[in-house]
């Protein structure tokens, strides 16, 4: 599978001089399986750019859109997703039921005039909201498993497998506090165990978390422990705090690399950036 990152910023889009390297768009991933079938994970503001690419390339008339949860930063790009406006596209919306409901509702109700000039009824794409849930075999062309996130209002993390390769995506997950419906840290360790690649929410520093505990996100030190305990090969930090500058993210990565080396692990650590592409064989 090949993963392309269209947005990895947390909470809200943050364009500006201090976010040029890692990007300011909110969560959106493109995953292509070996046959090139398109699975999109989350509809943050990065989705707009992926939509433009799909229109340019013209080779993905059917796609699957998986949603981790219904917070606004993971859905806000959808009204600006150009393929939604053309009848030749079939969009299977799967993932979390509440997010699917929310998306249908937000398009049907919240984006009515005067908030948005287009009603859901006017979208021409063939929408399928009837998937059975994460990993629904009808529309996901990868093997997918899910786990409940520890996050306010809930949500799901996903594990994508193809052949021997395994990618785990846990965003908006608070390892240091168990929200209602969330799982224990050990559950997340088992879920991610031996993955080739883990993207995990690392929004906060140890100092931030004194004020932000229960907000639904993890510290980068908590994520390092998880990745080492789960025997991950490559760790990508995501859901960068909107106030985190490129320089600060660089410092975090170098601090974690030093800590990982001191613990004699071969774990590879980096911060995910917009435009990043990773291919798993
Ligand atoms: Zn988020
Ligand atoms: Zn969230």
For 259-275, write each residue's pLDDT tens digit: 999 999 999 999 999 99
Q: How far is the CA of 118 from the centre of ligand 1 (A)?
A: 25
Q: How far is the CA of 14 from the centre of ligand 1 (A)?
A: 13
Q: What is the CA(172)–ligand 2 centre distance, in A?
A: 5
How far does residue 154's CA lie from ligand 2's centre (Å)?
8
Ligand located closest to 201 CA: 1
What is residue 121's predicted lDDT score, i.e. its pLDDT?
Answer: 82
- 216 Cα: distance to centroid of ligand 1 (angstroms): 9
Residue 244 Cα to ligand 1 middle (Å): 15
DSSP assignment string, the chain: -EEEEEE-B-SS---SGGGTTT-SPBPEEEEE-TT--EEEE--STTHHHHHHHHHHH---SEEEEEES---GGGTTTGGG-GGGG-TT-EEEEEE-HHHHHHHHHIIIIITSTTT-S--GGG--SEEE----STT-TTT--SEEEEEE--STT--EEEEEEETTEEEEEE-S--TTS--TT---HHHHHHHHTT-SEEEEE--B-TTTHHHHTTSS--BHHHHHHHHHHTT-SEEEEESB-TT--HHHHHHHHHHHHHHHHHTT---EEEE--TT-EEE--
Ligand nearest to the CA of 11: 1
- % pLDDT > 90, the chain: 73
Q: HSE, CB side, 13 Å, CA atoms: give it for residue 31.
A: 25
The 10s digit of each residue's pLDDT in 128-158 is: 877 765 556 656 678 888 899 999 999 899 9
pLDDT, position 141 = 72
Give the per-residue pLDDT at 236. 98
Please determine, looking at this structure, whether the domain spanning 2-279 carries the CATH number 3.60.15.10.
Answer: yes
Q: What is the per-residue pLDDT across 229-260, written as a single tens digit (0 to 9) for each?
A: 999 999 999 999 999 999 999 999 999 999 99
End-to-end CA distance of the chain: give it in Å, rounded: 7
Model confidence at 28, pLDDT cuts 50, 70, 90, reads very high
Over residues 196-218, the mean pLDDT reads: 98
Distance 126 CA to ligand 1 centre (A): 27
For residue 138, the model assigns a pLDDT of: 58
> Which pLDDT belongs to residue 111?
65
Q: How far is the CA of 108 from the centre of ligand 2 (A)?
A: 22
pLDDT single digits (tens) 95-126:
666 666 766 776 666 567 777 788 888 889 99
Q: Which residue has the higher pLDDT, 100 or 174?
A: 174
Mean pLDDT, residues 201-230? 98
Q: Tell me how far the alpha carbon of residue 258 lies from the centroid of ligand 2, in angstroms.
A: 30
Q: Return the pLDDT at 246.
A: 98
Q: What is the mean pLDDT of residues 219-232?
A: 98
Distance in Å, CA 167 to ligand 1 centroid: 19
Average pLDDT of the chain is 92
Residue 216 CA to ligand 2 centre (angstroms): 7
pLDDT score at 103: 66
201 pLDDT exceeds 90? yes
Ligand 1 centroid from CA 155, angstroms: 10
In the prediction, which pLDDT does 20 show? 98
Task: State if pTM tops 0.85.
Answer: yes
Domain ranges of the chain: 2-279
Note the pLDDT of residue 142: 82
The ligand that comes nearest to the alpha carbon of residue 156 is 2
């Amino acid at each position: 599978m090949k993963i392309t990152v269209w947005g990895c910023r947390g909470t809200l889009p943050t364009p500006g001089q201090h976010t040029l390297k890692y990007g300011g768009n909110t969560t959106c991933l493109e995953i292509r399986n070996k046959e090139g079938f398109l699975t999109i994970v989350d509809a943050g503001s990065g989705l707009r750019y992926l939509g433009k690419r799909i229109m340019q390339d013209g080779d993905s008339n059917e796609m699957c859109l998986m949603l981790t949860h219904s917070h606004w930063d993971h859905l806000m790009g959808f009204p600006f997703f150009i393929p939604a406006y053309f009848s030749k596209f079939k969009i299977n919306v799967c993932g979390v039921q509440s997010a699917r409901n929310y998306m249908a509702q937000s398009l049907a109700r919240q984006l009515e005039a005067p908030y948005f000039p287009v009603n859901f009824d006017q979208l021409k794409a063939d929408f399928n909201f009837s998937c059975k849930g994460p990993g629904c075999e009808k529309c996901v062309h990868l093997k997918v498993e899910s786990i409940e996130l520890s996050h306010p209002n809930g949500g799901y993390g996903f594990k994508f497998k193809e052949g021997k390769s395994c990618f785990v995506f846990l965003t908006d997950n608070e390892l240091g506090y168990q929200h209602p419906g969330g799982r224990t840290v050990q559950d997340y360790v088992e879920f991610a165990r031996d993955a080739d690649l883990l993207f995990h929410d690392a929004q906060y520093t140890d100092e931030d978390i004194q004020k932000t505990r229960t907000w639904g996100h993890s510290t980068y030190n908590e994520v390092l422990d998880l990745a080492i305990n789960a025997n991950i090969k490559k760790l990508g930090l995501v859901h960068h705090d909107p106030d985190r500058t490129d320089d600060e993210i660089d410092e975090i990565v170098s601090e974690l690399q030093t800590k990982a080396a001191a613990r004699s692990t071969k774990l590879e650590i980096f911060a995910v950036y917009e435009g990043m592409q990773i291919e798993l064989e």
